[in-house]
Amino acid sequence: MAKKIKVESNILKKNNLTAEENKKYFRDHNLFVLNLVSSPGSGKTTLIEKTIEDLQNKIDIYVIEGDQQTSRDAERIKKAGAEAVQINTGKACHLNAVNIKKAVDKLKPSNNSLVIIENVGNLICPSMFDLGENLRVVIISVTEGEDKPIKYPNMFHSSDLCLVNKIDLLPFVEYDIEQTLDYCREVKRDLDIMKVAAINGEGMQKWYKWIADKSGLFKI
């Protein structure tokens, strides 16, 4: 048991050293970096596609895609009009800081741009790995049930913003959105929360304003 804990803490320590290097690189190039985390299918890629469509005239956007296999999401992002690099994690259930360092080397984002990382769909493992991002955004959708924040508290506690996606489906599902918001606040009292539908743009202006305000790179 002691050995297992030691190996885990060494892995995290090594990751954190690279995350610090990433942070310095992002600072030096005035990049604003968001790490999007969620369970599979909550709508991360759809949200990024819509964000590119609506913000590409205001800021350069680059995307790092993480999935266990395939380049499907990077292809979707390129179609939406942004440069993207796909990372396949193979057996790993999360991105790590070295993945991001290598992806940024390939992407070479121009100074003063927005970099969006789509992490592997998983509400547990990615919470432990600092990628050097400025802020972390957790997405849940209304088809996932109200209780995810209290079942997977580390993810919600380590995030700066929670987007509740697919609100267009609220009339059709058994889902109490206010209960979800209460659970979010139970885990993290000052968690920013927004309700959106990436599919049709509902509520997305608030999300864009949040990115503009937090990054200071453009105005809405």
Ligand X SMILES: Nc1nc2c(ncn2[C@@H]2O[C@H](COP(=O)(O)OP(=O)(O)O)[C@@H](O)[C@H]2O)c(=O)[nH]1
Distance in Å, CB of 15 to ligand X, minimum: 23
How many residues in total does the chain contain?
Answer: 220
CB atoms < 10 A from the CB of 13, how many?
Answer: 9
Minimum CB–partner distance for residue 180 and Mg ion (Å)? 21
Residue numbers at the binding site for Mg ion (CB under 5 A): 44-45, 73
> By C-beta, is 80 or 131 nearer to ligand X?
80
Four-point Cα dihedral 22, 83, 112, 122, nearest 10: -50
Q: Strands 61-67, 83-88: parallel, antiparallel or unpaired by DSSP?
A: parallel
Separation of alpha carbons 63 and 51, rounded Å: 11
Q: Give the Cβ contact number of residue 53 at 10 Å.
A: 14
Residue type, 1: M
Closest to ligand X by CB, 100 vs 204, is 204
201 binds, among ligand X, Mg ion, none (CB under 5 to 8 A by kind): none
Residue 128, classified by CB atoms within 10 Å of its CB into exposed (0-12), middle (13-18) or buried (19+), is middle
Please, which residue, 40 or 81, has the CB nearer to ligand X? 40
Least spacing, CB of residue 197 vs ligand X, in Å? 4
Give min distance, CB of 45 to Mg ion, in A.
3
Residues engaged in binding ligand X (CB under 6 A): 38, 40-46, 121, 165-166, 168-169, 197-199
Contacted by 41, from ligand X, Mg ion, none: CB < 5 to 8 Å by type: ligand X
CA angle 18, 191, 46 (to 5 degrees): 70
Q: Which residue is nearest to ligand X (CB)?
A: 43
Minimum CB distance to Mg ion smaller for 71 or for 112: 71
Least distance CB 21 / Mg ion (angstroms): 27
60 binds, among Mg ion, ligand X, none (CB under 5 to 8 A by kind): none
* Cβ closest to ligand X, residue 94 vs residue 166: 166
Shortest distance, position 89 Cβ to ligand X, whole Å: 14
Shorter beta-carbon distance to ligand X: residue 201 or 216: 201
Residue with CB nearest Mg ion? 45
Q: How many CA atoms lie within 13 A of 147 on its CB side?
A: 1
Closest CA to 126 of 36, 34, 44: 36
Q: What does the alpha-carbon distance between residue 67 and residue 119 come to, in Å, rounded to a whole number? A: 7
